[in-house]
Amino acid sequence: MIERMMLSEGPKLVPFFKATCVYFVLWLPTSSPSWFSALIKCLPIFCLWVFLLAHGVNFLGTHPNAWKILVGLIFSALGDAFLIWQEQGYFVHGLLMFAITHILYTSAFGLKPLNPEPGCVVVIICGLSYSLLYPYLSGPFTYLVGVYVALIGFMAWRAIAGFQLFNDLWTWTKLCACLGAVLFMVSDLTIAVNKFCFPVPYSRAIIMATYYAAQMLISLSVVECKEEDSLRKRN
């Protein structure tokens, strides 16, 4: 199954991998924000738009979950652009864009199966994370970060809940959603700790590597819809 996925989806992801390499090779300084640096940062996400669109507009139109992921990627690109100028006062704008992204991703992952066990684990992780951040937060960030942690935690729970490994109900696309959500949490927690608490060594590399990987995996998670269509046609 994974080999078939690599053969069918791998070529469509080549532009994404090239754009990601361009970002890490250029490694433009964050101290000099510009529209060019915003473009380079957003380019891998633009390539994921193309990846989803390559499956056909009709596919996106008839599969709301795929469409929600695409719109989430659009808000992610806006969030990336705002964060380029976070030191100029646009951090909250970026936070809002990614909050909308997580709401869209949560809607795409759905509320079934409920699977509360991983939800309890995510609640504990989010609670510990916010407890770490709380002493360093002040003003509106005390509440904004709390709401954001809740949103990304809920998104991660819904992604993980669909990956039922021990019930033989899992697919590689559900695994992609699960891993993508976890990596997104790692990326955002690193951002928060580095911004509000203390400098994290190699923070930018950790943040962007986990972020790009997360977005790629979440984009791959909706390809299952197309596989299911193909199976129905064969039967």
Specify the pTM: 0.92
pLDDT for position 125: 98
Q: What is the mean pLDDT of each run of 10 residues along the chain (235 residues)?
A: 68 95 96 95 97 87 90 98 96 98 97 92 98 97 98 97 72 91 98 97 98 97 62 43
Residue 234 has a CB neighbour count (10 Å cut-off) of: 6
Q: How confident is the model at residue 235, as a pLDDT?
A: 41
Q: Residue ranges per domain, the chain?
A: 1-233
